[in-house]
Every structure is written in structure tokens, then in C-alpha cells.
């Protein structure tokens, strides 16, 4: 089975949290989102539980792939009424022109749903892409293409290697997680014990390759 060897790196967190994964070429961006969630400590892959927004950004294609239904519908409406929308923005007072120009640029970005597109073309062409999870905390990842493998033996993604634990939700983004790690890793800190107990209840786990691979078996790629 054809597959891609990719890297997943969480930005602005120290030390670097990274994963190297083999993912079947038939995977959609929805599948890739689920993989990123399962190799981390996030739970947004189960939308009925967390429901967080996420997006993959490909500015070279003027493309944003997201589960943000509102953004998808707004872009579709813009395409159907482009002339009216452009005229309305152009007729606004001068002090709003810069904002409106930025807004029109955003509306020009193509919006696609994650289950509509497969990852292969974009990985092979651009070699990397940005993934953003949770619009409030803005966890930013870089997905990198390593190689194409023609004879991958598994029908599901496989974790090859990795390093460092991943954050959980509601820590305040990368900055909050860095502060969390200072206390979590300092047994002399007065808040260390309470934080470790809280983190365990929230599902925070150290990096465990075997456990992650068990979770990746749940990813169904058609």
C-alpha cells in the first residue's frame, strides 16, 4: 500500500514535541487531523466531545481546509454574489478601507471541507503545511513530507518515532504550555504535586510510542 512518511512538529513549545508517522496515501485531511490528535494528548478528533475548530493552510494554493462550517458557507455565498460583495465593501467610508481590503482577501481564499480532499497531491507538491487547532488557543503545527513509500504493510497510520509529551486542551496555547512544563518538571516547585494530579485527571500523558500506535489503529482510512 502506498503511504507517506511525514513529520508533525508543534511550534513555539520547548522542548520540541515531534512525531514521525507513516500514513496511507488514501488519507483525507480529516484523517490527518485525527492522526495529529491521536499522536498528541488532544481530543478534538471526537467532534461530539470537544468540537474544536481546526484548519490546514496552503497559501500557495490560496486554500484553507477547515471544519469551520460558517467559513465554508460564507465563502460559498461570496462566490455566488462576488460583484455585490466587492461593491458593498468598496462603497464603505475611507477609514474602513484597509479593513475591507483585508476582508475581501480573506473571502477570496478557497475554503474546502477536510473530508473532501486527499492529502497526497498537496504533500508531494508543497512538502509542508500548517495545521492550526483550536482558534482560541491557536496550537500551531507544521506537517512535513519526508518520503513516499510504495509498500507500506499497514492499512492504518503507524507512529515510527517521536519525542516529548504533547499538551492537553485549555492550557492557554504554547505560552501556557511552556509555563505548565516549568512547574510539571520541577519537583521542588510548590505547585508541582497539585499540577501533576490535575494534569493526570485531564488526560495528560508522557510520550508513549506503544500506546499511541494502539490509538492509531482506530483511524479508518477508506
Tell me the DSSP string of 164-199: SPPP-SSS-HHHHHHHHHHHHT-TTSTTHHHHHHHH
Q: In whole angstroms, give the CA distance from residue 154 to residue 44.
A: 24
DSSP-based three-state secondary structure for 49:
coil
Q: Which helix (H) or strand (E) holds 193?
A: helix 192-201
Please list, in sequence order, all residues whose beta carbon lies within 8 angstroms of the beta carbon of residue 171, skipping any fewer than 6 positions away: 137, 177, 180
Per-residue pLDDT at 56:
97
1-47 pLDDT tens trace: 899 999 999 999 999 999 999 999 999 999 999 999 999 999 765 54
CB-count burial class (<10 Å; 0-12, 13-18, 19+) for 9: middle
Q: Any idea where the domains of the chain sit in the sequence?
A: 3-67+113-165+206-216, 68-111
Per the structure block, which three cell numbers stand in for 44?
Answer: 478534538
Q: Which helix (H) or strand (E) holds 196?
A: helix 192-201
Q: In whole angstroms, give the CA distance from residue 217 to residue 212.
A: 9
Please list, in sequence order, all residues whose beta carbon lies within 8 angstroms of the beta carbon of residue 202, skipping any fewer than 6 positions away: 168, 169, 170
Averaged pLDDT, 209-217:
96
Q: Is the pTM of this model over 0.75?
A: yes
140-197 pLDDT tens trace: 999 999 999 998 888 999 999 999 999 998 899 999 999 999 999 999 999 999 999 9
| 3-67+113-165+206-216: CATH class | alpha beta
| Closest-CA residue to 11 (of 129, 146, 91, 109) | 129
Indicate the pLDDT class of residue 64, thresholds 50, 70 and 90: very high
DSSP-based three-state secondary structure for 78:
helix
Helices (H), 81-115: 82-90, 97-108
Q: In whole angstroms, give the CA distance from residue 51 to residue 40.
A: 16
Question: What does each C-alpha distance from 128 to 42, 60, 143, 179 come to in angstroms?
Answer: 22, 11, 5, 28
Indicate the pLDDT class of residue 48, thresholds 50, 70 and 90: very low
- Answer whether 63's CB lies under 8 Å from 78's CB: no
- Answer whether 148's CB lies under 8 Å from 4's CB: yes
Amino acid at each position: 500500500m502506498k503511504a507517506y512518511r511525514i513529520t508533525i512538529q508543534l511550534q513555539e513549545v520547548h522542548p520540541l514535541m515531534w512525531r514521525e508517522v507513516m500514513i496511507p496515501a488514501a488519507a483525507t485531511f480529516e484523517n490527518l487531523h485525527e492522526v495529529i490528535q491521536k499522536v498528541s494528548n488532544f481530543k478534538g478528533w471526537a467532534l461530539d466531545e470537544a468540537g474544536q475548530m481546526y484548519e490546514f493552510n496552503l497559501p500557495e494554493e490560496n486554500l484553507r481546509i477547515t471544519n469551520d462550517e460558517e467559513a465554508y458557507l460564507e465563502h460559498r455565498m461570496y462566490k455566488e454574489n462576488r460583484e455585490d460583495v466587492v461593491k458593498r465593501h468598496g462603497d464603505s467610508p475611507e477609514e474602513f478601507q484597509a479593513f475591507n481590503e483585508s476582508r475581501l482577501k480573506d473571502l477570496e481564499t478557497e475554503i474546502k471541507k477536510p473530508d473532501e480532499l486527499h492529502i497526497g497531491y498537496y504533500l508531494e507538491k508543497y512538502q509542508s503545511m500548517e495545521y492550526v487547532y483550536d482558534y482560541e488557543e491557536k496550537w500551531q503545527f507544521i506537517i512535513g513530507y519526508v518520503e513516499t513509500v510504495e509498500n507500506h504493510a499497514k492499512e492504518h497510520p503507524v507512529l515510527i518515532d517521536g519525542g516529548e509529551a504533547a499538551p492537553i486542551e485549555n492550557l492557554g496555547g504554547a505560552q501556557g504550555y511552556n509555563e505548565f512544563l516549568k512547574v510539571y518538571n520541577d519537583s521542588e516547585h510548590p505547585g508541582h504535586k497539585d499540577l501533576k494530579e490535575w494534569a493526570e485527571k485531564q488526560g495528560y500523558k508522557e510520550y508513549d510510542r506503544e500506546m499511541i500506535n494502539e490509538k492509531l489503529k482506530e483511524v479508518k482510512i477508506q
